[in-house]
């Protein structure tokens, strides 16, 4: 019998190089056992709105280094073509058929399959969990979203199979809310293992022309773009202005040479607007728009400042490289972010609460010990986002709101209409239509 029919197969689903680096670090730290104990496959998905026009993960500098840890790779987009990875899922009655198809196509044999996925509450991870219905599921968190609640309630058939949540210690001491409702225990990916993988990825950039040009400019600050317009949070013009504010803020802080790292899907016009702003401010601007992680630049150039809105790369700079960070525009995003349960809310809250505001003149800093105020705030925001998933947090949330909602530093994180609908302190009275709906629900009950 083929030994692969007896040997477990571990399928690691990734869509970003940062996520792949997290998985690689966990593997290096032995968190998935010895390599010879299982056949390891890397399943790559391109979740961009139009995958055919987006940068492929395989094109990112350093991907080849990550891929050596696996016995093979699978292209999920090809496997389900012409469907989109973000929307395709098999019908329940078809899952056994799809499992047979994938076992044959990927040469899995008939042995056990273990899934390691990101964002289990959405496709493609959710689709994989449905297809391999008997498989154990382990989740790794790609950045700051691990500290927020699960986006949607998981089907019991999936939730009961999740064994653990692997995450980076981006905010030391802060416990993730993600999957907490399932009782799953979070497990840290060791800092030294993750930093080692980032160093390995940076080494792959040896000889890269864009990196060499950026280093030659002797920049002291790195500005991070996120392309929030793609998420509908800002308009393209507003995001362009946000990046211009980063340039002005860096210039006001005394930096004369800066690098801008745009989001891979950002339009070219962003760079053009920044060049005009940099020229006006008397700042030398270098645009680092290659297929690179921002962390590769940290390794190569060691900037004295990293500026962003609420990018995970800001906390990576502070925690793993000791680089001071500053934020721009979080107040605007807090006002704009809808719906309240938007998964970006907790990353935004964390950065807004921990990182100095560059435009107020606050000195950029490496956040020190996590303040005692952060964990209760994150739990309260998380409860207001997903109250059905975390009913035990209601009393704690009500107490925090009673004590601190009068403070501007707390009120900015809560929506009074949302608080009113939840019957929490500080909430606006429900609108007449809302009261009518609630009355109808009670009468039907």
**In whole angstroms, what is the distance from residue 130 CA to residue 303 CA?**
45
Sign of CA dihedral 360, 366, 371, 375: positive
Q: DSSP code of 320? A: H
What pLDDT score was predicted for residue 283?
96
Residue ranges and CATH numbers for the domains of the chain are 6-195 (3.40.50), 208-360 (3.40.50.1980), 374-431 (no CATH)
What pLDDT score was predicted for residue 436?
45
Q: What is the mean pLDDT of each run of 10 residues along the chain (445 residues)?
A: 68 96 98 96 91 86 97 97 94 96 96 95 95 97 94 92 97 96 95 97 92 92 91 90 96 96 70 88 92 92 95 96 97 95 97 97 94 97 97 98 91 96 91 52 41
Closest-CA residue to 310 (of 346, 286, 340): 346
Distances (CA, A) of 75 to 39, 83, 131: 17, 13, 16
* Residue 9 and residue 112 in contact, taking contact as beta carbons nearer than 8 Å: yes
What pLDDT score was predicted for residue 1?
41
What pLDDT score was predicted for residue 307?
98
């Amino acid at each position: 019998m083929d030994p692969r029919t007896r040997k477990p197969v571990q399928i690691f689903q990734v869509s970003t190089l940062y996520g792949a680096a997290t998985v690689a670090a966990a593997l290096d730290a032995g968190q998935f056992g010895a390599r010879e104990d299982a056949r390891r496959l890397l399943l790559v998905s391109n979740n961009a709105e139009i995958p055919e026009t987006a940068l492929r993960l395989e094109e990112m500098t350093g991907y080849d280094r990550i891929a050596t840890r696996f016995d093979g790779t699978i292209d999920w987009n090809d496997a389900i073509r012409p469907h989109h990875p973000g929307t395709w899922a098999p019908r329940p009655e078809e899952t056994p058929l799809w499992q047979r198809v994938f076992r044959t196509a990927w040469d899995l044999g008939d042995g056990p399959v273990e899934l390691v996925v990101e964002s289990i509450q959405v496709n493609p991870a959710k689709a994989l969990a449905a297809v391999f219905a008997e498989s154990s599921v382990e989740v790794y968190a790609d950045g700051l979203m691990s500290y927020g609640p699960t986006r949607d309630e998981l089907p019991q058939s999936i939730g009961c199979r999740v064994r653990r949540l692997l995450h980076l210690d981006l905010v030391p001491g802060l416990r993730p809310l993600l999957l907490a409702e399932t009782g799953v225990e979070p497990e840290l990916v060791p800092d030294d293992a993750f930093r080692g993988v980032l160093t390995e990825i940076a080494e792959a950039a040896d000889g890269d022309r864009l990196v060499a040009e950026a280093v030659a400019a002797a920049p002291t600050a790195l500005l991070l773009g996120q392309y929030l317009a793609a998420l509908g949070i800002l308009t393209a013009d507003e995001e362009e202005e946000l990046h211009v504010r980063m340039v002005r803020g860096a210039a006001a802080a005394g930096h004369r040479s800066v690098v801008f790292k745009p989001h891979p899907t950002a339009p070219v016009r962003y760079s053009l607007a920044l060049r005009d702003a940099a020229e006006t401010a008397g700042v030398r601007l270098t645009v680092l728009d290659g297929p690179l992680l921002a962390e590769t630049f940290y390794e190569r150039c060691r900037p004295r400042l990293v500026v962003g809105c609420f990018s995970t790369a800001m906390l990576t700079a502070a925690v793993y490289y000791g680089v001071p960070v500053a934020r721009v525009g979080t107040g605007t995003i807090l006002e704009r972010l809808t719906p309240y349960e938007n998964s970006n809310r907790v990353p935004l809250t964390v950065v807004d609460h921990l990182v100095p505001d560059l435009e107020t003149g606050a000195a950029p800093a490496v956040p020190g010990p996590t303040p005692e105020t952060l964990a209760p705030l994150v739990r309260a925001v998380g409860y207001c986002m997903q109250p059905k998933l975390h009913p035990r947090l209601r009393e704690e949330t009500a107490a925090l709101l009673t004590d601190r909602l009068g403070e501007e530093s707390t009120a900015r994180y809560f929506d009074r209409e949302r608080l009113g609908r939840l019957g929490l302190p500080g909430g606006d009275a429900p609108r007449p239509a809302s009261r009518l709906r609630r009355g109808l629900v009670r009468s039907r009950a």
